[in-house]
Amino acid sequence: MTKGLNLSNILKDRSYSVLGFETETSDYAQKLRKMGFIEGTRINLAPIMISDPMIFEIRGSRIALRKNEADQIKVEEI
User: Distances in Å between the alpha carbon of 28 and those of 11, 23, 24, 34?
Assistant: 24, 9, 9, 10
pTM score of the predicted model: 0.81
Using CA atoms, how far apart are residues 26 and 24, in angstroms rounded to an integer? Answer: 6
Domains of the chain: 5-77 (2.30.30.90)
Higher-confidence position of 61 and 51? 61
Q: What is the pLDDT of residues 5-38, one digit of tens each?
A: 999 999 888 999 999 888 777 788 888 888 889 9
- Residue 4: band (very low, low, confident or very high) from pLDDT cuts 50, 70, 90: confident
Residue 46 CB neighbour total at 10 angstroms = 16
